[in-house]
Every structure is written in structure tokens, then in C-alpha cells.
């Protein structure tokens, strides 16, 4: 689904209806909601087809731990809500953050992070230290404070839309401009605001992290709760 199609869907349906029907997916046997696929593996007509799917040369499903139709539908819907280009659903918030961090960072790299972050995120940052990855926290969540901490080793700028638990508000657009000035991606935790209130990707963020509450999971399809959304 293109950006224009996502915007048209949200304009036509509104947030709640778009969450349920905005991706215009067709389900088997005339189902009006996403079926819960509990199969661990998927049958294919040939070993060659399966090999292409494993090698990411062909679209399809091979093993549920990698992906399945239910999870994929969930990812498409949240991608639409955040106006991203793709999502990865994970089993927990820390799994989602770790997935994003370890695809970018290596030993010797630095993260410049907002102050007053969620405690679980701070603990995760501490867990990265044995791998040679360090974190520098800004003294206050202002664009100039982030810029002051950026060095040639900085590979990620990290912030929350609304801080947990301080409830301080980050100027996402201004911080994104600072990060991009040094060719560094901005990762945003959108837990408190959710895409209902703000879409950080539209303000310049590169990756958005969203823990979805149980009520939203139930509305979507009773599936995974955490994911990262990426923009172009």
C-alpha cells in the first residue's frame, strides 16, 4: 500500500475503522476479520518455491517463527496507522528495541539518548555496554542538548514522544533535523502518545517503536504487541 493509499484509507475510514478495515485485505472463505493462523509451517508446491521464500527472493510464508499471515496483517495495519513503509512485530518491547539497535550498532558505537527514559530502556542500554556500545544521556530534552552530545561515533539518536514517567515532550521535528544533520537516524518510542495522537515519522523520525495495549491487540487480531515501524 502506497503512502497516498494509506492516507486515503485513513481519511475515508477514520482511525478506529481504518485499524480494522483500512488495508483492504481479502480473507479466505469470506471471513470479515483476519483468521488466526496457528500452523507452524506452510505447504508449497515445490522445494524450489520454498527455497526462494527462505532466500527472500519470493513473497510467501515458510515458518511461523519468521512470519505468518496473521502477524503480517497486524504489521500492515500498524504501518498504515504510523504512515511508515514496513513494520516488524516482536514479542516484547525490549525485543523490538533490541532488533532495531543491533541492526545498526556495533562495538565502538554510541547512542545519544533523551533524559528521563523508561526504566526498561535504560536497563537495555546498560546491557549493551559489554558489547562495546555506550550511551550518552542529554541533560535536557532540547535540540541543542542532543547536538552537543553527538560525536563521530554516534550512530543513533533516541527519544520518547512523551517521556515515561516525566511526561516531558520532545520536539521530534527539531531533534530529527539535528540527527539528520550528522547523518544519524532518529529512533522514537511512541508508547505514551500512540499514532492516535502523533505520527513521529511525519515529523522526521526514522524508526518508531510502539507497544500496543491489550485492547488494541484485541481489536486488531489478538497477536503480537510490540513493533518497529520504518519510514523511507
* pLDDT recorded at residue 83: 84
- Structural domain contains residue 36: no
Which grid cell is 28?
479466505
Share of the chain above pLDDT 70, in %: 85
- Structural domain contains residue 189: yes
pLDDT digits (tens, 9 = 90+) for 148-176: 999 999 999 999 999 988 899 999 999 99
* Number of domains the chain is built from: 1
At residue 155, what are phi and psi to the nearest 5 degrees? -120, -15
The residues, any chain, with a CB within 8 Å of residue 216's CB and separated by 6 or more, are 19
Question: How many Å apart are CA 9 and CA 21, to the nearest integer?
Answer: 9
Question: How many Å apart are CA 200 and CA 183, to the nearest integer?
Answer: 18
pLDDT digits (tens, 9 = 90+) for 70-85: 888 888 888 888 888 8
What is the reported pTM? Answer: 0.82
- Structural domain contains residue 125: yes
Tell me how far the alpha carbon of residue 45 is from its chain's centroid.
Answer: 33
* pLDDT recorded at residue 95: 87
More confident: 144 or 53: 144
Share of the chain above pLDDT 90, in %: 43
- Structural domain contains residue 217: yes
Judge contact between 113 and 159, C-beta under 8 A.
yes
Mean pLDDT of all residues in 98-120: 94
* Weakest-pLDDT range from 1-10, 28-37, 43-52: 1-10
- Structural domain contains residue 26: no
Question: How many Å apart are CA 39 and CA 61, to the nearest integer?
Answer: 11
Domain with 111 in it: what CATH number? 3.40.640.10
- Structural domain contains residue 100: yes
Question: How many Å apart are CA 82 and CA 216, to the nearest integer?
Answer: 14
More confident: 2 or 153: 153
Q: Binning pLDDT at 50, 70 and 90, where does residue 12 land? A: low
Residue 227 has pLDDT above 80, yes or no: no
Q: Binning pLDDT at 50, 70 and 90, where does residue 224 land? A: very low
- Structural domain contains residue 190: yes
Average predicted confidence (pLDDT) for the chain: 84
- Structural domain contains residue 194: yes
Q: Binning pLDDT at 50, 70 and 90, where does residue 1 land? A: low
* Residue numbers of the domain that contains 88: 68-230
Question: How many Å apart are CA 114 and CA 176, to the nearest integer?
Answer: 13
pLDDT digits (tens, 9 = 90+) for 184-206: 999 999 988 888 899 999 999 99
More confident: 67 or 135: 135
Question: How many Å apart are CA 96 and CA 106, to the nearest integer?
Answer: 17
Amino acid at each position: 500500500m502506497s503512502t497516498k493509499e494509506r492516507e486515503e484509507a485513513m481519511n475515508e475510514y477514520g482511525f478506529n475503522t481504518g485499524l480494522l478495515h483500512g488495508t483492504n485485505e481479502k480473507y479466505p472463505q469470506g471471513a470479515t476479520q483476519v483468521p488466526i493462523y496457528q500452523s507452524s509451517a506452510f505447504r508449497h508446491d515445490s522445494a524450489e518455491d520454498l527455497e526462494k521464500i527462505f532466500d527472500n527472493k519470493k513473497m510467501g510464508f515458510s515458518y511461523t517463527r519468521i512470519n505468518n499471515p496473521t502477524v503480517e496483517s497486524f504489521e500492515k495495519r500498524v504501518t498504515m496507522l504510523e504512515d511508515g513503509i514496513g513494520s516488524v512485530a516482536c514479542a516484547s518491547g525490549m525485543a523490538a528495541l533490541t532488533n532495531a539497535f543491533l541492526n545498526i550498532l556495533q562495538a565502538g558505537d554510541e547512542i545519544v539518548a533523551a533524559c528521563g527514559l523508561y526504566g526498561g530502556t535504560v536497563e537495555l542500554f546498560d546491557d549493551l555496554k559489554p558489547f562495546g556500545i555506550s550511551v550518552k544521556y542529554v541533560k535536557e530534552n532540547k535540540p541543542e542538548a542532543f547536538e552537543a552530545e553527538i560525536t563521530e561515533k554516534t550512530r543513533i539518536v533516541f527519544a520518547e514522544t512523551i517521556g515515561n514517567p516525566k511526561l516531558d515532550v520532545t520536539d521530534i521535528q527539531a531533534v530529527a533535523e539535528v540527527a539528520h544533520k550528522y547523518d544519524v537516524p532518529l529512533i522514537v518510542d511512541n508508547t505514551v502518545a500512540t499514532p492516535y495522537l502523533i505520527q513521529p515519522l511525519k515529523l522526521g523520525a526514522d524508526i518508531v517503536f510502539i507497544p500496543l495495549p491489550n485492547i488494541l491487540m484485541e481489536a486488531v487480531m489478538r497477536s503480537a504487541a510490540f513493533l518497529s515501524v520504518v519510514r523511507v
